[in-house]
Structure 1
Amino acid sequence: MTLRLDKTSSVVAVIWLLVLVPEARATDTVGIRKAGELVVETGTTKTPSGETLRYELGTFYVPENRTSKRARVIGIGFARIRAAKPTGAAPVFILPGGPARSYLNAFTDHDDAAKSQLEGILPYRAVGDVVVVDQRGYSPRGEILTVSRRAQPLEQPRSLAADAEAMVALAQDAVAAHPDKDLSGYNLVEYAEDVKALSKALGYRRISLSGQSFGSQWSLAVMRLHPEIVARALLSGVEPLDNSHDMPSHIFASLQRIAWDADRSPALRPYLPRGGVMAALRAVRERLAAGPVEVTVQDAKTGTARTVVLGLEDFQGALLRPAASWPAFVLSLYYRRYDDWAREVLAERQDVEEPVRLIAPLIDSSLAVSAERRHLLKTDAGLELLGAVDFDALMASEEAWPTPDIGDEVRLPVLSPIPVLMFHGDWDTSTPLENALGLLPWFSNGRVIQVHRGAHHTRAPVFAKYPELLAQVVKFLKTGDTRGLPVRVELPVPGFQPPSFPPPGQ
C-alpha cells in the first residue's frame, strides 16, 4: 500500500518515517539491486583546453518511496571528479535545475551543449572533489518518467479553465501510464534524502551545494532538512521553497527593467509608440482582453492553412522569453503582426510527439505554496497585466497529482547560519530578483550579488566578464568567507533584436 499524505497531514510524519526507514532492506526491495548500492565505472574526456579529465560515472540505488516498506528500488546517476590533491574543503555537490535536467551529458557527449556544460563544472575542481547528481525520475542512468502529450484545440483561445482541465487530465494520464511506479515518491523531501544518502555512500561527512534555479530549491531543501551535512552553498536563479509560483508583480518589475534599456535601443527606436515598450504591452493586453484574434497561417508540418485563435491568456503566457527578443515580440503584436506568434502557438498546441517530463509537475504540486503566499498570488497587483497563467493550473490540479504536499514545516524558511552566496539577475523573469532578496534575511551568513541585466542563467556571463569574481567564489566555497565580494555587478546592454518588418512609415 502506498502512503499518500493529504494536505492537512504534517510533513513531520514524513520525516519520522524517513528516520525509521532510512533505506529499504534487501527483503523489502523489488528487483536485483539493493537500496544503498553503488555501481561505478571510470572514464576520461577532454576539457576545452585539451586536458585529459578523469571522472567516475555511477548509479546510486535508492528506495522509490522511503515511507513504504516495500518500495521499488530505482537508480540515480551521478558523476564525480576527484580533486588533484586534497584541499581540506568539503566537496561540491552540483544539483541540476529544471526540474527534469541532467548534467551527465558533460561526461558522455561531445556536442557543443556538453562542452558548455563541462566548462561550467570544471572551475569547482579548485575547491575539491566535484559530484554532479541526477534527479530521481529524470536520469539517463536510471529512469526518465514521461507521459504522452495531448493536443490542444486551435479554435479556442487559451484560458485558465482549459489549462486547469488539461493539467488534471495530464495527472490522470501520468498515473495510468505508470501503474508499476509509486509516483508519490517523486517529491522534494525524497530528493533531499537522496543527496544525504549519496554523500554518505561516497564517504563525505559534509558537502557544499551548488544549485541553479530548481537546483537552488533542491539545495534549500537539503539545508532545511539536513543542515548538519552542509558546509556552505552557492545558489543562482534562486527559488525559495515557498516560491514555486512567482509573484506576477515581481515578474512585471523585471520586464520594466528590460524595457528601460530597450526603449533606448537604436534598433528599436523607430518602432516605439509613445510610452515605449511597456505602453505597447498595455495596448496589446487591452486589445486581447476585448476579444481574441483569429490568424490563418501555414502549418509547417502539413503545408495546409490552419486558423489559430489567440487570446489574452495566450499573450500572458508568451511574455517570458529572452530579454533580447522580448521587446520585438511585444512590438510586433502592437502593430498587429500576429503570424509568427500564431505559428509558434500552432506548433505548441499540436505537439504530441514530445512527451511531458513528469518530474516538473510532480515536484511543483508537492511543493505547492503556503496559505499566505496563495492569498498574495491571487490578489497580486500584477495579475491585471500578467494574469495567473504561470500558476493557476498547477494550483487547480494539486489534488490530482500523487505527490504529497511537503508542508509548511519544510516550505517556510527558518534562520540558518550556513554561509550562502546567491547570484541573481534583475532581468530574471523565471525567478525574479525579489526571491533572493526575500530569502537573504534568513541566512545570517548570507550574501546576494545582484547582477544588473542578468537573466535567469547569470553565472556564466558574470564569470566571463569578471574572472576575478570566479576566483572569489572558489575561495568562498573553500572557506565560507564573503569579505571582498561585491553586492552588485553589471552586464552590458544586449543587442536588442528588432521586429522582422520595416519600421512604420518606411
Structure 2
Amino acid sequence: MPSPHPMRAFSLKSSWRCLSLCLSLAFPAGALAQHKPGEVIIERSAVELEPGTRVSYELGTLYVPENRRKPESRLIGVGFARIKAPRPTGAPPVFWLPGGPGLSVLGSLIDDDAAGKGRLRSWLTFGAVGDLVVLEQRGFTRRGEMLEASSDAMLLDRPGSAQVEAQAMRSLARRAIAENPGKDLSGYDITELAADVDALRRALGYQKVSLFGGSFGSQWSLAVMRLHPGIVARAVLSGVEPLNNGYDMPSDVFAALQRIAYDADRDPGLEPYRPAGGLMEAVRTLHRRFATGPVRVQVRDDAGGGQTVVLGAEDLQLALNSHTQEGEQWPAFILSLYHGHYEGWAREVIADRAAGKTKLIGPLIDSSLGVTAEREHLLRTDPATELLGTWNFEANIASAPDWPTRDVGDALRKPLPSAIPVVFVHGDWDTSTPIENTLGLLPYFPNGHAILVHRAGHDGAFYLLRGEPAAKEAVYEFLKTGKTAGLPHEVTLPVPRFALPSFTAPAAGETSSAGAPSP
C-alpha cells in the first residue's frame, strides 16, 4: 500500500526503516564503464554475529542496463549478498526479495545494529533449505543508485487534503527528473526489477530459484513468476500484494481494524477509556467531531517555544490509515484522540509536513504498475472511503502521467492461472496489505497453500516463523522439496498486550475532554 504523502518514507506496506548509506560501498568514478551487462563482482567476507560465531558471506554488485528497452542505456549497479548453505542440499537457492519499495538490507551484514543482526539471524535459518541470495532494488541499493528528490514543506495553518497531496506528488515527479540529470528514471519499473532477478540467477549459475518475499517483495515475486515463470521452482509469499492491488481496498483495511477492535474491546486495561459501543464507536465519534470543523493544536518544544498545526477531517482519515501498522498500538492512539489528546498526533503531522527528501523508487514503481480501470472504480466507490478517504491512491493515480516510468498495462496487472507452487502466509490484522489480497489470488494458484494467521499484522510470515517451530520447519521443507505435508491452514496468535493511552483514565461516567472544533 503506497504512502499518499510524498514526504513520508514511501510506503505503508511495512514499518521497516531504510538503512543509512555506507560510503565505503560507493562506486569509484568511471567504475561502471569497466563492466558489461550481467556481470557480477563479488567480495568475500565474514561478520561476527556473536562472540566466537563468524558468518561467511559474499557481497556483490550486479551490473545491468538502466533501461533494457534502450540499446545504449548506461549500466547501473544493484547490490546483492549470498550466504551459502553449510552443506549442499540439492534444492534451488532461495532468492529473498526485500519490501518497500525502498528497503535497503545489505547493512545487516556490514552495520553494527540490533535490527540488522536480527535480520541476519533469520537469514541464517535458510541454510536448512540451501543457498540464500538477497537482492536489493535498483534505484535504492547500497551498491548503486540511491534515487531521491526534494519535497516541499506543507502548510501547517490549514487542514491536510488528499487533493493537495496529489498536487505535491505531481510537483515531486517534475522535481525528480530535474534533480537527477543523466539518469533514465523510466528504467525503474517492476518489469526491470523482475529482469534483474533473472540476470542475477544466470550470473550466479543457478538453473531455478525459489522466491521468498513479503509486502512489496511479494509483488516483486509475483512479477518474476509472471514474466519469467520457467526460472521459479516455488515461492513463499507473506503480506501478499497482487500486481493489481498496489492500492488497498478501503473496506478491506477497515475490516482488519474491526478485527483488532474486537479484541481491544475485551481488554480490561482499555475498559476505562472506551466509550459505550467500543473502539469503533470511538472512530465514528471522531468522524462526526471532525466533520463539524478542524481543530488547532499547539505543540510545545523543550525550549519553551512551539508550533500550531490545523488538523481536519481528512487528516483524521489519513491517521486512521497510517497508525495501524502495529495492532496492539492502534487502540491507544484512537482512544487518545477520542478523549481530546491530540498532541502526539499533532507532532507527527508537523514532522510529516516538513520539507525533506523522498525515495523515488516507490512512486516510480507504483505509478507504472497502477491498477486497472475497474479496480480504480471500486476504490473510488468503496463505502469505507467515508472513514478512510482516498489517501491510499489519490496522489499516485493523479501523478502517474508525470512520472517517467511507463504504464505496464492490464495484461500484467490482471491475475492469470499459474502452476507454480506457492505458500501464502497472511495475517488478518494486516492493514497494509489486507488478507483479502491472498483470498482473491489463491484461486489462480491450483498448487497454492494459504496459511491464515489470526492476529498477525503485516509481518505475518515472520510471526509464524518465529513463534511456530513446527510450521517454520514445514515452510522450510516446502522450500527445499516442494512438499506441503505439515503446513497448517490456520495459526492463531495469542491476544497481544495492548498499549494504554499515556494519560490517566477518566472517571466513570466522565465525558470526553475534547473541546469543540475551532473554525
TM over 0.5: yes
Greater shift, 312-321 or 413-422, is seen at 312-321
CA contact (8 A) 2:426 2:451 kept: yes
Q: Would the alpha carbon gap of residues 167 and 209 (structure 1) be closer, same or farther in structure 2, given more than 3 Å must change? A: same
1:68-83 correspondence to structure 2 within 5 Å: 68-83=70-85
Superposed CA RMSD: 1.4
For residues 314-463 of structure 1, what are the structure 2 equivalents within 5 Å?
314-319=315-320, 320-321=322-323, 322-350=326-354, 352-353=355-356, 355-463=357-465
Aligned mates of 2:222, 2:50 — CA distance in 1: 32
SS in 1 for 2:33: coil
Tell me the amino acid that sits aligned with residue 316 of structure 2: F
Structure 1 residues 77 and 303 mapped into 2: Cα distance closer, same or farther (>3 Å)? farther
Instruction: Note the C-alpha offset of 1:483.
Output: 2.4
Q: Percent identity?
A: 55
- Deviation of 1:48 after TM superposition, in Å, equals 5.0
Residues 93 and 133 of structure 1 are in contact (CA less than 8 Å); yes or no, is this contact kept in structure 2? yes
2:309 partner letter:
V
Instruction: Give CA deviations for 1:42-93 in whole Å, capped at 9, x if unaligned.
Output: 0011345853211110000000000111101000000011122221111000
Find the partner of 1:480 among 479, 482, 496.
482
Which position in structure 2 is the counterpart of 1:311?
Answer: 312
Is residue 325 of structure 2 the alignment partner of residue 291 of structure 1? no
**Which is worse superposed, 84-93 or 195-204?**
84-93
User: Aligned partners of 1:446, 1:392: CA distance in 2, in Å?
Assistant: 33
Correspondence for 1:99: 101
Instruction: Name the TM-score, length of structure 2 as normaliser.
Output: 0.89
The CA distance in 1 between the partners of 2:208 and 2:423, in whole Å, is 17
Contact 1:262 1:277 in 2 (8 A): yes
Cα distance in 1, alignment partners of residues 476 and 465 from structure 2: 12
SS of the equivalent of 1:60 reads strand
| Matching residue of 2:215 | 213
Aligned twin of 2:171: 169
8 Å CA contact 2:474, 2:485 repeated in 1:
no
**How far did 1:444 drift?**
0.8
CA distance in 2, matches of 1:430, 1:502: 31
How many residues end up aligned between the 2 structures? 475
Q: Secondary structure at the match of 2:34?
A: coil
- Judge conservation of contact 1:30–1:71 (CA < 8 Å) in 2: no
Q: What secondary structure is seen at the aligned counterpart in 2 of 1:31?
A: helix
3-state SS of 1:148 partner? strand
Cα distance between partner residues in 1 of 2:364 and 2:198: 21
- Cα deviation for residue 390 of structure 1 reads 1.1
Write the distance in 1 (CA, Å) between the matches of 2:189 and 2:257. 31
Structure 1 counterpart of 2:25: none
Q: Is the 8 A contact 2:98 2:105 kept in 1?
A: yes
Distance, in Å, in 2 between the alignment partners of 1:160 and 1:469 is: 42
Q: Would you say the 8 A contact 1:299–1:346 is kept in 2?
A: no
Q: Deviations over 1:265-307 (max 9, x none)?
A: 111000111110000001101111221111111246x752221
Q: Tell me the residue number matched to 1:134.
A: 136
1:277 to 276, 279, 284: 279
Q: Which runs of 5+ in 2 are unaligned?
A: 1-30, 509-519
Report the 3-state secondary structure (helix = DSSP H, G, I; strand = E; otherwise coil) of the residue aligned with 2:56.
Answer: strand
CA displacement at 1:463 relative to structure 2: 2.2
Check if 1:122 corresponds to 2:124.
yes
- In 2, the alpha carbon distance for the partners of 1:370 and 1:299 equals 46
Amino acid at match of 1:44: A
Amino acid at match of 1:331: L
Secondary structure of the residue aligned to 2:55 is strand
Higher mean Cα deviation, 389-398 or 49-58? 49-58
Runs of 5+ unmatched residues, structure 1:
1-28
Is the partner of 2:86 in helix, strand or coil? coil
**Matching residue within 38, 41, 52 for 1:39:** 41
Equivalent pair of 1:239/1:435 in contact (CA under 8 Å): yes
Answer whether contact 1:187 1:363 (CA < 8 A) is retained: yes
Within-5 A mapping of 1:190-201? 190-201=192-203
Moved more, 329-338 or 412-421: 329-338
Q: Secondary structure at the match of 1:394?
A: helix
Question: Which deviates the most, 198-207 or 310-319?
Answer: 310-319
Question: Is the CA contact 1:160–1:392 (under 8 Å) kept in the aligned structure 2?
Answer: yes
Structure 2: how far apart are the matches of 1:490 and 1:152? 42
Partner of 1:252: 254
Tell me, yes or no, if the aligned pair for 2:32 and 2:76 is still in contact at 8 Å: no
> Runs in 1 of length 4+ with deviation above 6 angstroms?
none
Q: Which of 263, 266, 272 is matched with 1:264 structurally?
A: 266
The CA deviation string for residues 292-345 of structure 1, in whole angstroms up to 9 with x for no partner, is: 111111246x75222100011111111232211111111111111111111111
What TM-score do you get using the length of structure 1 for normalisation?
A: 0.92
SS of the aligned residue for 1:41 comes to strand
